[in-house]
Amino acid sequence: MVMSNQQLQASARPVAKASGLEGVVVADTRLSHVDGERGELIIAGTRAEVLAESASFELVAERLVELATDAPHADVSVALARSRVAAYDHVSALRDSLALPDAMDALLAATAQARSGRDALSVLGALPVYVAAGERLRAGLTPIASSAQRSHAEDFLVMLGLPPDAARVRALNVYWVTVSDHSLNASTFAARVVASTGSDIVSSIAAALGALKGPLHGGAPGPVLDMLDATRDADPRIWLESELAAGRRIMGMGHRIYRVRDPRAFVFERALSRLESELAADHGAASAAIVERLAHARRVERAAEALLSERHPDRPLRANVEFYTALLLEALGIPRGLFTATFAIGRCAGWLAHIEEQRRTGKLIRPAARYIGPLPE
């Protein structure tokens, strides 16, 4: 049946526009909950700040998988350790992809190309191996082998050639636990959309990696450090004003859901202070660098908050997770170019659980668009 223009016009505007799906609920989840007004984050049934202090990343990954599958899961830390070792066996075959100049491109290419281990825990175990090996290859160094005797966090630091002392391992664990899941953020939504089509886990993770790479999502921490560098010897307000005047956003500020300071910023600030005091005895210079960065970051944060509240009095724009992620990962010695990829290693736990949760609904995600294009004569 051919529609008349009148019918087509009527059918073309049935839905109201929600350009970024703000406030639209498209899934039920048992995995995490964000209260943007109160600044609260619950992951796997526990407040993020409590979980960060009390659980290993391996345990959180296990809890997320159990919640998604509604079944007890065999010891995830053993399976993860085995997956890392198995992934390392493929490093030489994947070296061209791993050595790509951009760490996220490298991670995406290697993950998509890996011929074996395409199940959830194999993918989760492979990510730190690929990120670390890629970094070593780009620097002209030999990759360092994974060991099943180490935790996920310790193994990553060792594979990067960084000091794996207890203080740094603990801080990286806090980081990964805190970012392990965050409700329906853009990359998790991307993973769920692909999973909803019945596609495989690797394809869903590839979609999530692509979404995370964007500066409005997981690509902000590198630019946050650039901002801190640029304002080190200057009045932050003047620099921030010139960024806004050039039409750029202040990285690490603002959030789709939070209308208060991101609760993860508090967790990372605390982790930084503890790392600083733990390093003070044996690594005085590293500890002093953290103190200086933190003090400067707080000055820039206050200046950005004040400026943005003048520009947007009705829309609170406060520090988000990326602001203090930048400082924490820098304090661990992780290179700036790896910040988003390091975020991906932690968030992958949430992605995999969401993929499983989505699969169990058996429902295709396929929203509608309002047609505003030309109509046939």
Residues taking part in catalysis:
255, 322
Using the contact rule CB under 6 A, the part of the chain among 136-144, 231-239, 252-260, 269-277 near ligand COA is: 252-260
Residue closer to ligand COA (CB basis): 143 or 252: 252
Residues facing residue 35 across a β-bridge: 40
Residue 259 CB, nearest approach to ligand COA (Å): 10
Task: Estimate to the nearest angstrom the gap between the alpha carbon of 71 and the chain centroid.
Answer: 26
Angstrom distance (rounded) from CA 212 to CA 208: 6
Give the three-state DSSP class for 253.
strand
In whole angstroms, what separates CA 370 from the centre of its chain? 31
Work out which of 128, 143, 164, 252 binds ligand COA, going by CB under 6 A: 252
**Piece of the chain touching ligand COA by CB under 6 A; list 48-56, 62-70, 101-109, 254-262:** 254-262
Chain centroid to Cα 65, Å, comes to 18
Encoded one letter per residue, x for contact with ligand COA by CB under 6 A and - for no contact, window 282-311 reads: --------------------------x---
Q: How far apart are CA 306 and CA 317, in angstroms?
A: 9
Q: Return the range that interacts with ligand COA (CB under 6 A); candidates 192-200, 243-251, 281-289, 291-299.
A: 243-251
For ligand COA, the closer of residues 59 and 239 by Cβ is 239
The contacts of residue 295 (CB under 8 Å, 6+ apart) are none
Which listed residue (8, 18, 216, 364) binds ligand COA by CB under 6 A? Answer: 216
Is residue 256 a contact point for ligand COA (CB under 6 A)?
Answer: yes
The token pair that represents 366 in the structure block: 């396929």
Task: Give the nearest distance from C-beta 121 to ligand COA in angstroms.
Answer: 27
Name residues contacting ligand COA, limited to 307-346 (CB under 6 A).
308, 312, 315, 317, 320-322
Give the nearer residue to ligand COA in terms of CB position, either 127 or 319. 319
Q: Is position 254 an interface residue for ligand COA (rule: CB under 6 A)?
A: yes
Beta bridge partners, 33, equal: 42
Helix, strand, or coil here: 47?
Answer: strand
Least CB distance from residue 322 to ligand COA, whole Å? 5
Residue 8 touches ligand COA, criterion: CB under 6 A: no
In the complex, minimum distance from the CB of residue 307 to ligand COA, in angstroms, rounded to a whole number? 9
- Tokens 């619950």 map to which residue? 42
**What's the closest the beta carbon of residue 92 comes to ligand COA, in angstroms?**
35
Please give the span between the terminal C-alpha atoms of the chain, in angstroms, as a whole number.
Answer: 17
The packing angle between helices 166-179 and 57-69, to 10°, is 20
Site for ligand COA (CB under 6 A): which residue of 1, 6, 17, 20? Answer: 20
What distance in Å separates the CA atoms of residue 293 and residue 228, rounded to the nearest whole number? 8
Query: CB of residue 41 vs ligand COA: minimum separation in angstroms?
Result: 12
Nearer to ligand COA, 63 or 264 (CB): 264
Give the Cα separation of 216 and 308 in Å (integer): 17
Helix (H) or strand (E) holding 236: helix 236-245
- 45 in the Ramachandran plot: left (φ > 0), alpha (ψ -120 to 50) or beta? left
Binding site for ligand COA (CB under 6 A): 20, 216, 220, 249-256, 308, 312, 315, 317, 320-322
